[in-house]
């Protein structure tokens, strides 16, 4: 079965795995409620979390990545059912009381080690933000709102990946071949941000982002539901609820940070946009106004011209095999860790090109497994990401439950004449995602609830960003970047130029992220919103980003 889980040899197995998890969770709830306050209470809570997460996390990955629709559908149903149970448990008064008794007893609390105490406080925090303090009727309302929010999130995210269709005669004939034909229609499934033809990028932007009434309705209901939930459980806005327990603490701090950052960036961003405009004027004198579909493309062109960066000159030095050897060598030198390819069992993986790596420490032994789902395939989301399938924890018998993660990329397949070759950006992304994977392997906590990347969001990106620094350091790159045909090492000046080029247009790139963050804060701020989500987007884009809003997007 998938990931070696016997039940998951067929889609129907998700029902069986889910039923087992729910049965185990019922027993653990009873045990938690009848156990005297002490460290065992926290251990039972963690077992409960693990029993549900083992199915929910696995299903969360399968519903996105499995090529078989029946598997995706079964996984989504399991996610929804377990998500509903989790929300009910977060408002279970008797279960909460067992933890409250523990935290209210100073003698017991003071006897706990710091890790156990922290985990107990985190579980209590989950109860509090879910509305445990409310009366029964309001708690039920909180559960139903949470479940509705889960559904709306799924529906909205699915909708963002759907292509838009357009009558092919609307587009000039010479650009139609860039899009997938379907009878008299063309399917536009993305922004084509890297396409050198301005008209193709403009058409893709306007068609792919054309308003969809269903998506707008979902977004508005999602924001309203989140606000209702936050108000119900005692917060001014959903942003207040989401930021409690983070370094920022509240929306006011976030707003001030974004405003200061935007002020610091403004002059540099303006210079970046001027550079891109000059480049567009040079390449397309008839239409030189800089538009949102130009930013990703022309920032790359400016970098490439200024530092003579042609990705096709770098790719031959970054074969996938060489990059993996580089990572293996780096982990061996820094951490005493080696990666070994393992044979998979029948039904263990969801695509024949998925590879399984065992992560082995020189003295500690086997630390866990990484499944590498690296290659493009139809229906696979175009997003590089890391999924926790199973968290690590110390089991009751003293053995350590090994973590299992998936790294998902969208790399091109090898050809008859060349292995899979990575662009500098792809290589950096591989290092970034492998940073998350190593975090999961090395964050060996006693409790599953805080294992690996299950830490504050503020910190979760630190190991992966650290890996990006290694990917841009000649001392590291020189150890593995070899031309796949000649074996020649990547010249030092090419690495230096690549690193310097990343500073070009960096302010404009960051300004775009500030715009996304500011929009997110407004959407999740005070409700009812004063204007429609699209009008707020237009206002925020023109105020914060600097490139004009495009009507009907």
DSSP annotation string for 261-327: HHHHHHHHHHHHHHHHHHHHHHH-TTS----TTTHHHHHHHHHHHHHT--HHHHGGG-BHHHHHHHH
What would the pLDDT profile of 155-176 be if each residue is shown by its tens digit? 999 899 889 999 999 999 999 9
pLDDT (0 to 100) of residue 310: 86
What would the pLDDT profile of 495-520 be if each residue is shown by its tens digit? 999 999 989 999 999 999 999 999 99
- Write down which residue in 424, 445, 480 finishes a domain: 480
Determine the average pLDDT of the residues in 205-212: 96
Q: Clarify whether residues 187 and 127 are in a common domain.
A: no
Q: Clarify whether residues 474 and 327 are in a common domain.
A: yes
- Write down which residue in 115, 133, 151 finishes a domain: 133
Q: Is residue 331 part of a domain?
A: yes
Q: Clarify whether residues 200 and 326 are in a common domain.
A: no
Q: Clarify whether residues 13 and 106 are in a common domain.
A: yes
pLDDT (0 to 100) of residue 534: 97
Q: Is residue 512 part of a domain?
A: no
What would the pLDDT profile of 445-472 be if each residue is shown by its tens digit? 999 999 999 998 878 999 999 999 999 9
Determine the average pLDDT of the residues in 62-77: 96
Q: Clarify whether residues 341 and 476 are in a common domain.
A: yes
Q: Is residue 83 part of a domain?
A: yes
pLDDT (0 to 100) of residue 298: 96
Q: Is residue 308 part of a domain?
A: no
Q: Clarify whether residues 67 and 199 are in a common domain.
A: no
Q: Clarify whether residues 173 and 82 are in a common domain.
A: no
pLDDT at 135 over 80: yes
- Nearest-Å Rg of the Cα atoms of the chain is 25
pLDDT (0 to 100) of residue 70: 98
pLDDT (0 to 100) of residue 245: 85
d(CA 424, CA 312): 10
Domain count for the chain: 3
Q: Is residue 338 part of a domain?
A: yes
Determine the average pLDDT of the residues in 363-385: 93
Percentage of the chain modeled with pLDDT above 90: 94
Q: Clarify whether residues 448 and 371 are in a common domain.
A: yes
pLDDT at 333 over 80: yes
* Closest C-alpha among 125, 111, 237 to residue 525: 237
Residue pair 54/21 in contact by the 8 Å Cβ criterion: yes
pLDDT at 276 over 90: yes
Phi first, then psi, for residue 87 (nearest 5°) are -65, -40
Q: Is residue 50 part of a domain?
A: yes
Determine the average pLDDT of the residues in 320-325: 98
What would the pLDDT profile of 210-248 be if each residue is shown by its tens digit? 999 999 999 999 999 999 999 999 999 999 999 998 889
**Residue with tokens 């629709």, as numbered in its chain:** 69
C-alpha separations of 434 from 254, 270, 280, 382 in Å:
29, 35, 36, 17
Q: What is the CATH number of the domain that holds 378?
A: 3.40.390.10
pLDDT at 311 over 90: no
Q: What is the CATH number of the domain that holds 11?
A: 1.20.1050.40
Could you tell me the residue range of the domain that residue 178 belongs to? 161-204
Which of the four pLDDT bands, split at 50, 70 and 90, describes residue 308?
confident
Q: Is residue 7 part of a domain?
A: yes
- Write down which residue in 456, 480, 504 finishes a domain: 480
pLDDT (0 to 100) of residue 288: 85
pLDDT (0 to 100) of residue 254: 98
What would the pLDDT profile of 84-114 be if each residue is shown by its tens digit? 999 999 999 999 999 999 999 999 999 999 9
Catalytic one among 87, 433, 468, 542? 433
Its pTM stands at 0.92
Q: Clarify whether residues 362 and 437 are in a common domain.
A: yes
Q: Is residue 452 part of a domain?
A: yes
Q: Clarify whether residues 126 and 193 are in a common domain.
A: no
Q: Clarify whether residues 332 and 466 are in a common domain.
A: yes
Determine the average pLDDT of the residues in 530-549: 96
* Closest C-alpha among 131, 123, 127 to residue 47: 123
Annotation says 433 is catalytic: yes
pLDDT at 17 over 90: yes
Which of the four pLDDT bands, split at 50, 70 and 90, describes residue 383?
confident
> What does the angle CA 159 – CA 160 – CA 164 come to, to the nearest 5 degrees?
80
**Six token digits for residue 113:** 């080690």
Q: Clarify whether residues 94 and 192 are in a common domain.
A: no
Summary mean pLDDT of the chain: 96
């Amino acid at each position: 079965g998938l990931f070696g889980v016997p039940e998951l040899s067929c889609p129907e197995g998700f029902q069986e795995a889910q039923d087992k998890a729910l049965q185990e969770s019922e027993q653990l709830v009873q045990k938690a409620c009848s156990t005297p306050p002490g460290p065992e209470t926290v251990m039972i809570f963690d077992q409960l979390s693990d029993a549900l997460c083992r199915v929910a996390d696995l299903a969360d990955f399968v519903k996105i990545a499995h090529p078989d629709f029946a598997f995706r559908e079964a996984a989504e149903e399991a996610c929804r059912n377990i998500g509903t149970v989790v929300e009910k448990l977060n408002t279970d008064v008797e279960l909460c009381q067992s933890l409250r008794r523990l935290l209210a007893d100073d003698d017991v609390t003071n006897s706990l080690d710091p890790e156990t105490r922290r985990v107990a406080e985190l579980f209590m925090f989950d109860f509090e933000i879910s509305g445990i303090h409310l009366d029964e009727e309001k708690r039920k309302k909180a559960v139903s709102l949470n479940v509705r929010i889960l559904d709306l999130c799924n529906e909205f995210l699915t909708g963002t990946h759907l292509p838009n269709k357009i009558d092919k005669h609307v587009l000039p004939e010479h650009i139609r071949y860039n899009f997938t034909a379907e009878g008299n229609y063309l399917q536009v499934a993305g922004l084509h941000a890297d396409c050198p033809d301005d008209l193709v990028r403009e058409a893709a932007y306007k068609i792919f982002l054309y308003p969809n009434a269903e998506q707008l309705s979902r977004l508005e209901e999602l924001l309203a539901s989140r606000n209702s939930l936050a108000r119900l459980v005692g917060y001014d806005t959903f942003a207040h609820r989401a930021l409690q327990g983070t370094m920022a603490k509240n929306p006011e701090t976030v707003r001030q940070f974004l405003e200061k950052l935007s002020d610091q960036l403004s002059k540099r961003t303006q210079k970046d946009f001027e550079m891109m405009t000059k480049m567009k004027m040079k390449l397309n004198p008839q239409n030189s106004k800089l538009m949102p579909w130009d930013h990703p493309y022309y920032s790359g062109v400016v970098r490439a011209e200024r530092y003579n960066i042609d990705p096709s000159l770098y790719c031959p030095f970054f074969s996938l095999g060489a990059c993996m050897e580089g990572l293996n060598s780096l982990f061996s030198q820094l951490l005493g860790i080696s990666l070994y390819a393992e044979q998979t069992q029948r039904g263990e993986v969801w695509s024949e090109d998925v590879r399984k790596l065992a992560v082995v420490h020189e003295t500690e032994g086997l630390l866990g497994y990484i499944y590498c789902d690296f290659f493009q395939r139809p229906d696979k989301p175009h997003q590089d990401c890391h999924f926790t399938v199973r968290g690590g924890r110390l089991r009751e018998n003293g053995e350590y439950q090994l973590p299992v993660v998936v790294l998902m990329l969208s790399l091109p397949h090898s050809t008859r004449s060349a292995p899979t070759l990575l662009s500098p950006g792809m290589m950096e992304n591989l290092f970034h995602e492998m940073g998350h994977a190593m975090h999961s392997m090395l964050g060996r906590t006693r409790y599953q609830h805080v294992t690996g990347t299950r830490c504050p969001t503020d910190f979760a990106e630190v190991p992966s960003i650290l890996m990006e620094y290694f990917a841009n350091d000649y001392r590291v790159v020189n150890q593995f970047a070899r031309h796949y045909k000649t074996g020649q090492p990547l010249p030092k000046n090419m690495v230096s130029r690549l690193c310097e080029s990343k500073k070009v247009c960096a302010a404009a790139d960051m300004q775009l992220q500030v715009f996304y963050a500011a929009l997110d804060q407004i959407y999740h701020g005070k409700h009812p919103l004063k204007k429609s989500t699209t009008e707020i987007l237009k206002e925020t884009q023109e105020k914060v980003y600097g490139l004009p809003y495009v009507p009907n997007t």
